[in-house]
Amino acid sequence: MDLYRLKQELEAGRTIYDLPLRVSYYARVSTEKDEQLHSLKAQVEYFSGFIRRNPNWVLVGGYVDEGLSGTSVIKRENFLRMLEDARLGRFDFLVTKEISRFSRSTLDSIRYTRELLGCGVGVLFQSDNINTLAPDAELRLAILSSIAQDEVRKISERVTFGFRRAVERGVVLGNGSIWGYRKEDGRLIVKEDEAVLVREIFELYADRGMSIRGVCAHLSQRGLKNSRGGDFSFSTIRGILSNPKYKGYYCGGKSRKLDYREAARARLDPSEWVLYKDEDTVPPIVSEELWDRAGRMLDARGGKGKGSAPCRSLYPYSGKLFCSVHGAPFYRAAYRGAGGLREVWQCREYASGGRAACSVPVVYTEELDRLLREALELAGVRREELARALADLLSEPAVSPVREKERSSLLRERGRLSARKDRLLDLCVRGSLSEEEFRERNEGFNRELESLAARLEALESSVPEEKPLSVETLLSAAAAALELSGGFDRALADTLLDRAEVSAGEGGAVLVTAKLRFLKEPLSFVIRRCRGKASVCSVQYI
């Protein structure tokens, strides 16, 4: 019976139970706990009996999803199969328990209901007493589905509150997959067989001066593998060296969920973490002194990892400039004025809120270039001395342009495949793909993504042979630094400048305190501008 005739019959005073229909049902529970599975079995038995007891209806099977959340349908195979069968006209009417069985998202609930109506299929949400063939069904559905979505929000808030309370009580959260420990009753227990390797990693890095990539190569040469049976990657070793748990510190609250409807989380700044010494809950594997030495070396060699892939900055002073008031990094901006395109660096707070948010003045790239050249001249650094200093600082092997290009290509390919995979479900919902095509293509994308992940891991884990820079090359770099008429490139600025702090001086001047890598003491600079042009008028040691 088509949808038009169904509605005509209902408008004539007949009920849905009076009509000869092919009826199916959909049941779902969100966990695989025994009591939930028992509830699922009860739902199946109830709906089967309910449909069979009506003499005008014919049961044409049902659709069941076990242990899957109602916030998303991406993994609910039987729900997707039900939509596909509706498009194929295999049933006329669907019975389910309540709106949340479809989705706890208001928009999704209505969208799937409309999808089914477009296929000539009505839905009875039994507990909510909504028949989507009724004239007022969509209004009632929107109201009740909004309540269901709000319930998801409340559950998310309760879970988040529970996590925060657990952090406040010092309960170790997470799955316990931290090298050197196992988790037991909210505490960490040292796994001595793995702890030995953790201590060795810290000693190799902090005491023997080995680079992170050198540590990776050393472990690989000895045949030592990570928990998945692969080589230790750069990010894994860096994560170990920067994890405060290894010195006996409780560390929690490092991320926050962005939206209760999504799985994405934002990593918080370390200043917002819950961090304190607690050797009972988190027994140390290395001494605090050794951990701190490793931390200082991480800072000196480019900063601690924050759990994401390292970002290669394109600009010379990225990650080098900081605000004296807020401690925030300076961000680059560019604008086109009368003299052409100019690069300017400004405090993060200034960038987001303007002068009202931060009174520390901006500083221009050409000012920083001149400042760095004058610092070298003032320090009286000879070319040979600078070359030796550069050689000492280049302990970390440079990233090969070829390897970096390959890595970027793999990351782009991964993003492209992920986007194509995400579009599959929409194609399936619209009827452009059958269930079989959806599964086949989805599995194909999964295989390709797994292959890309393995190639990225192998690329990151491998340590290429790096040719040492010749003295001539280093001398040329020194000469370029002292005689530069243009701007500094990223590599040279990164090698020479460790950190600089910017503050406001008197009369509109800009104060910059810079720490150069080859000098023990920082230098203080005053930048005064005349009609928009920079002039470093005084340089003095602090």
The CATH number of residue 221's host domain is 3.90.1750.20
Asked, for residue 164, whether it belongs to a domain, the answer is: no
- For residue 508, the model assigns a pLDDT of 81
- For residue 304, give the DSSP letter: -
3-state helix, strand, coil in the chain (%, to 5): 45, 20, 35
Q: Is the per-residue pLDDT at 255 higher than 80?
A: no
Q: Same domain for 380 and 405?
A: no
Least reliable range by pLDDT among 51-55, 127-131, 216-220, 287-291? 127-131
Q: Number of folded domains in the chain?
A: 4
Mean pLDDT is highest, among 19-23, 404-408, 449-453, 478-482, for 19-23
Structure-token pair, residue 380? 């009286």
Q: Same domain for 277 and 377?
A: no
Q: Same domain for 217 and 366?
A: no
Q: Same domain for 351 and 213?
A: no
Rounded CA-CA distance 525/537 in Å is 8
Mean pLDDT is highest, among 26-40, 122-136, 150-164, 385-399, for 122-136
Asked, for residue 315, whether it belongs to a domain, the answer is: no
67 vs 2, higher pLDDT: 2
Rounded CA-CA distance 193/208 in Å is 22
Cβ(212)–Cβ(240) under 8 Å? no
Mean pLDDT for 257-284 is 63
Please give the mean pLDDT across all residues of the chain. 73
Q: Which residue in the block uniquely carries the two structure tokens 């390709």?
A: 448
Asked, for residue 418, whether it belongs to a domain, the answer is: yes
Conformational region of residue 529, where left means phi above 0, alpha means psi within -120 to 50, and beta covers everything else: beta
Asked, for residue 311, whether it belongs to a domain, the answer is: no
Per DSSP, the three-state class of 381 is coil
Q: Same domain for 336 and 439?
A: no
Q: Which domain holds residue 502?
A: 321-390+473-541
Band the pLDDT of 356: cuts 50, 70, 90: confident
Q: Which helix (H) or strand (E) holds 59?
A: strand 57-65
Band the pLDDT of 56: cuts 50, 70, 90: very high
Q: Same domain for 431 and 493?
A: no
Mean pLDDT for 490-517 is 80
Asked, for residue 314, whether it belongs to a domain, the answer is: no
% of the chain exceeding 90 in pLDDT: 11
Least reliable range by pLDDT among 13-17, 209-213, 308-312, 324-328? 308-312
Cβ(541)–Cβ(525) under 8 Å? no
Q: Is the per-residue pLDDT at 278 higher than 70?
A: yes
Q: Same domain for 482 and 448?
A: no
Residue ending a domain, choose from 461, 484, 501? 461
Q: Is the per-residue pLDDT at 54 higher than 60?
A: yes
Cβ(297)–Cβ(205) under 8 Å? yes
Asked, for residue 468, whether it belongs to a domain, the answer is: no
> Burial letters for 107-128: b for 16+ Cβ neighbours within 10 Å, e otherwise?
ebbbebbebbbebbbbbbbbeb
Q: Same domain for 383 and 510?
A: yes
The one-letter amino acid at 441: R
- For residue 82, the model assigns a pLDDT of 92
- For residue 60, the model assigns a pLDDT of 93
Q: Same domain for 197 and 141?
A: no
- For residue 433, the model assigns a pLDDT of 64
Mean pLDDT is highest, among 222-231, 441-450, 465-474, for 222-231
Structure-token pair, residue 205? 């890095």
% of the chain exceeding 70 in pLDDT: 61
Residue ending a domain, choose from 120, 155, 190? 155
Band the pLDDT of 365: cuts 50, 70, 90: confident
pLDDT in tens, 329-338: 888 877 666 6
- For residue 63, the model assigns a pLDDT of 92
262 vs 89, higher pLDDT: 89
Asked, for residue 395, whether it belongs to a domain, the answer is: no
Mean pLDDT is highest, among 302-316, 350-364, 370-384, for 350-364
Cβ(163)–Cβ(174) under 8 Å? no
The one-letter amino acid at 340: G
- For residue 283, give the DSSP letter: -
- For residue 145, the model assigns a pLDDT of 58
Q: Is the per-residue pLDDT at 95 higher than 90?
A: yes
238 vs 453, higher pLDDT: 238
Q: Same domain for 85 and 143?
A: yes
Q: Is the per-residue pLDDT at 375 higher than 60?
A: yes
pLDDT in tens, 505-539: 887 888 999 887 767 778 888 888 765 454 444 44
Structure-token pair, residue 322? 């900081």
Q: Same domain for 132 and 244?
A: no
- For residue 312, the model assigns a pLDDT of 44
pLDDT in tens, 38-47: 567 888 888 9
Q: Same domain for 177 and 296?
A: yes
The pair phi, psi for residue 483, each rounded to 5°, is -115, 10
- For residue 461, the model assigns a pLDDT of 56
Asked, for residue 305, whether it belongs to a domain, the answer is: no
Residue ending a domain, choose from 461, 487, 510? 461
Band the pLDDT of 152: cuts 50, 70, 90: low
pLDDT in tens, 279-331: 777 889 999 888 888 888 887 765 444 444 444 455 678 888 899 988 888 88
Mean pLDDT for 58-86 is 77
